[in-house]
Structure 1
Amino acid sequence: MIRHLGPRTDVDGLVADAVAEGREVHVVTAADTKAATLEAFADALDFPAWFGGNLDALADCLHHVARHAEGEWELVVDGLAALGREDPFVLAELRGVLGEVALAHPRFHVTVVER
């Protein structure tokens, strides 16, 4: 499942609700460039050394995480607006990757906070 929430979303409250519902939660704070945003994913999710720093590698790592997660899992991606202003094409591709992973793995929830 993927959902998009507005700029006034309380991320701390969102995380607390997900934890209360039994999900493991990870928050990624996006940046205004593709490279910095991918680095934020790698740091927040402790990607392996083979992470290639591109969208295909992001998809591979997220699929890996989703396949090996025990129970329900939630990824909160906050702050994509700056990336969208700098590179709307990359933002569209990133949303596609997140949607693909969420669709392929029903226990993997993705929340995008649009700010």
Structure 2
Amino acid sequence: QTLTPDLQAILAKQKISFKFNPPHTPHFGGTWEREICSIKIALQTTLGAQAVAEEVLRTVMIEIEGILNSKPLGYVSSDVADPDPVTPNLLLMGRHDSSLPLVTYPDSELRSCRQWRHSQILSFFGPLR
């Protein structure tokens, strides 16, 4: 695995350097190679050998990202009095759960949504005579 001289020059200007593992030695990567293995297992479990559209693949990858970023970064105590463990989701989003927060809408907004939907249905049938 080598970089072209042109690419090396561009990266050197930005003070970026790559350190490659020796070929066929993923155990040298330790932590990140374990995470890559977790992604591969999740993809295999979810998709198997299916060929899927890019949009489906993106959605699955986002779900896998949420799952992996929910894993604790350190020791998890069995004592309930101890604070919750730190997770990547907590650091990135300020909460443990990667799903979007539940939003509640006031009744006035729900009514306007129903009215909009009703108008869409009526417009589908065209003007009534």
TM-score above 0.5: no
> TM-score, length-normalised on structure 1?
0.29
Flag the structure with more relative contact order, 1 or 2, with Cα contacts below 8 A and sequence separation at least 6: 1
